Structure 1
Amino acid sequence: MVKRRHLLIGFLILLGGILLWKILFPSEEKRVIQRFELLSRYTEKKANEDILSTANRIKNLSQLFANPCEFKIEGDPFYSFTGSYSREEIGGYALRGRSYFLDLSLNFSDYKIKFSDRETAQVQLIGRLTGKTTAGERVDEVRELLCMLKKIEKAWLIARLEVVEVLKR
């Protein structure tokens, strides 16, 4: 009886330790996904957002990118955005892009992550942008993205972002 209790207590302590380890020290794959979750959170805009909140979001959003970051978004003249941009330029473009919307959300799914080495990750994923423009139009766009992230000073930063293709419904 006493041995069972000690074994059960030992097992629960071990299980708790493993869970604590997973929470405090996430895998590299989880850290990469967290960067996209942050990008989604900082891109989000609500209709009643104040200017200080906007400035904070743009500052935090630009910190998710390497300096410089390469973009390759082609196919539509209105959405064309190709070249190498600094964090400050990315923040400026993000601010301008968000200004066209009353509300905006960006969600990511279907992550396929490959690590070419300990400092580089290739991520293929789906991005969905939804919102309402200042003109009152609803927007619902889905794109497949290919991103390269580099680990710089222990943080995964987006070094390259490319739109692969437009998904058809």
Structure 2
Amino acid sequence: MEAWLAQLIQDLLTALALPQVGLVAVFIITFVSATLLPLGSEPAVFLVVKADPSMFWPVMAVATVGNTLGGITSWWVGYGAERAVEAVKHREPPNPRALAWLKRFGPKACLLSWLPIVGDPLCAVAGWLRLPFWPCVGWMALGKGLRFICFTAALLWLLPESWMSWMQ
């Protein structure tokens, strides 16, 4: 059983090392994980880079684009939801303090879109509040890109090789 699992992991790493497979997988996973669906993209990004370290920058670019497009999708979902609710009835927002905070910081708050749990809804709320689209996209991309670069670099260069022995 252990040999089978080791072979499965090795085959997966070999497939992910191929740019045409790894980059597509990274794009799809990072896109979906940036929507309101619960999915983490860091393991996929890390595995592709670990399988082929020379792909570090292309993977960072694809992950950032995929994750930012997912954030944009959430922004549009929030924008559409606000318009739908507004058309049905006008009511007081559920958390006026949080909305006031987001309005005060404006699009710059989207820099925090990389945070677990609150980041994806933050993009939707930015759309709900009709914060300016392109500045929100810029701040989302910056935050998400820096997150991928820092997280992946830290795992690659700070974790002891003995922790990665299961990948051999």
TM-score normalised by the chain length of structure 2: 0.29
The one of the two structures with greater contact order (alpha-carbon pairs below 8 A, sep at least 6) is: 2
TM-score by length of 1: 0.29
Query: Larger Cα Rg: Structure 1 or Structure 2?
Result: 1
Query: Which structure shows the higher helix fraction?
Result: 2
